[in-house]
Amino acid sequence: MELFTVTDGCTGCGLCAAACPASLVRQRTPGQPPQALAGREAHCIRCGHCVIACPTKSFVHALLPPDSFEPIRRKEFPSPGSLRHLLMARRSCRTYNPAPVPRDDILALIEAVRHAPTGHNMRQVGYVVVDGPERMDAARQLVLDWIGLEVAADSPRAARLHLAGAARAAARGKDVIFRHAPHVIVAHAPIDGISPEIDATIAASWLEIAAMASGYAACWCGYLMFALAAHPPVNAALGIPSGHQGYAALLFGRPATRVAQIPPRDMPPVHFYEPGACGNEGE
């Protein structure tokens, strides 16, 4: 298979070759049309950078149909100030309107974040959405069952995560697991992937911001994430595909109330690298 072709509009600028992260696009001499590295087609990660780098739209990729590309509308970009405000206004929501969110709205949010970066552009992140009171109750019980096992074993994890206290609160009827959210969304990826946990975490982070921008709210569901990491049966019971693991979980729904202020946060420490400078103060 010929990985790509170029039309007569090619100027030989070489930008496509410079953009290919796998070095599959080669330009033998400046000004000449590019050629594909023979026999390495399977190494293409289908990122599309070679196509979008071409200023004359003369680069045609065999695996990426031209009509699958969407033009960038820079006028629709948020301003730096509005983006900063959105990021700062994001809050972890622990009080929800119990009404479920339409599935189409959830799918629209996931569609919007499908361009979240993944290691080697593998794009293997998937999602499990739990919705409906009965399904949420069943998922909650999965986590509580795992907590019970940890507490009964008096495990170091139970002590570190204060799981006995969570179990007592749940026994009193307090929903410390899902906070009465109408949904939980789990991002999963292949266990043997290049960077599965990072990929799923980035995807869920993007989803949380997209939810905020759309008027919804989310909160990272720590107890479920701990259960997914420590107890494989939880993954299987939630319907996560074999060979995958759930790495990130968000409570999701409409917020019960709208907050009107942004609480203060300190500026994190920032150091600019200086070659030869000592990294430990006092040495």
46-64: average pLDDT: 96
In 3D, which of 205, 139, 127, 134 has the Cα closest to residue 178?
139
What is the pLDDT confidence band of residue 1, given thresholds at 50, 70 and 90?
Answer: confident
For position 34, which CATH number holds?
3.30.70.20
pLDDT at 266 over 50: yes
Specify whether 157 is located in the same domain as 187. yes
* pLDDT number for residue 277: 76
Specify whether 116 is located in the same domain as 240. yes
For position 136, which CATH number holds?
3.40.109.10
Specify whether 23 is located in the same domain as 98. no
What is the pLDDT confidence band of residue 279, given thresholds at 50, 70 and 90?
Answer: low
Q: What is the Cα–Cα distance from 219 to 90, expressed in whole angstroms?
A: 10
Specify whether 102 is located in the same domain as 144. yes
Contacts with 175 (C-beta within 8 Å, 6 or more apart), sequence order: 140
Specify whether 128 is located in the same domain as 161. yes
pLDDT at 280 over 70: no
Sequential DSSP letters for the chain: ---EEE-TT-----HHHHH-TT--EE-SSTTSPPEE-TT-GGG-----HHHHH-TTS-EEETTS-GGG-----GGGSPPHHHHHHHHHH--B---EE-SPPPHHHHHHHHHHTTT---GGG----EEEEEESHHHHHHHHHHHHHHHHHHHHTT-HHHHHTTHHHHHHHHHTT--TTTTT-SEEEEEEEETTSSSHHHHHHHHHHHHHHHHHHTT-EEEE-HHHHHHHHH-HHHHHHTTPPTTEEEEEEEEEEEESS--------PPPP-----TT--SSTT-
How many residues appear in the chain?
283
277 or 234: which leads in pLDDT = 234
pLDDT at 281 over 60: no
Domain boundary among 37, 68, 99: 68
Specify whether 108 is located in the same domain as 202. yes
Domain boundary among 18, 37, 68: 68
Specify whether 244 is located in the same domain as 195. yes
What is the pLDDT confidence band of residue 72, given thresholds at 50, 70 and 90?
Answer: very high
In 3D, which of 198, 14, 214 has the Cα closest to residue 6?
14
Q: Look over the chain and give the mean of its residue pLDDT values, rounded to a whole number.
A: 95
C-beta separation of 12 from 59 below 8 A: no
Amino acid identity of residue 29, one-letter, is: T
| Percentage above 90 pLDDT, the chain | 95
Q: Tens digit of pLDDT for each residue in 84-98?
A: 999 999 999 999 999
The model carries a pTM of: 0.91
Specify whether 195 is located in the same domain as 141. yes
Residue 118, domain extent: 85-255
Domain count, the chain: 2
